[in-house]
Amino acid sequence: MPPAVRSPRRAPARPRPPRPLAAAAAACAALGSVAGAGCGTGGAGADTSRVCGLLERLAATATAVERADVADPDAFEAALESAVAEYRAVLDELREVTAEELAGDLDRLEAAVTQYDFADAIRARAALDRHAGRTCPPPATSSSVPAPAGG
């Protein structure tokens, strides 16, 4: 019997970004809003205002994807890649200022986002959302109704 033929080992392929329309919704959900914003108190040993500011930056990364032209696949892919790179950079900063108990969650979140697995990223982000909800007050909202003229 001939020896088994081994296929050459290849490096894992970089994940291909999903189709623009489907990816836009998924990426915005995964990269977008993290519960809470601003700064507050709590988180023993953590710089709470910095944590909350970084959580705001995570939420803001979805803006570029939301505004990307899905009719132009190259522009959309560039916006998505840029958002993922920014998200990963913010996660690195969060690792420096958050409690150790979130380290595994941050790692899972980064892995999911890096692989464009936005459904998994949403699940991985749950602990971070809970932390934000406990630590950071909700963002201030402004009324879209203009004040009456003349008092």
For position 136, what pLDDT does the model report?
Answer: 87
User: pLDDT tens for residues 124-142?
Assistant: 888 888 888 888 877 655 4
Rounded mean pLDDT of 78-87?
A: 91
- Which comes out higher in pLDDT, residue 69 or 90? 90
Calculate what percentage of the chain has a pLDDT beyond 90.
21
- Window from 81-95, 111-125, 135-149 with minimum mean pLDDT: 135-149
List the chain domain ranges. Answer: 20-39+46-135
With b for 16 or more beta-carbon neighbours within 10 A and e for fewer, the 91-127 pattern comes to: beebeebbeeebeebbebbbebbbebbbebbbebbeb
Instruction: Supply the pTM of this predicted model.
Output: 0.64
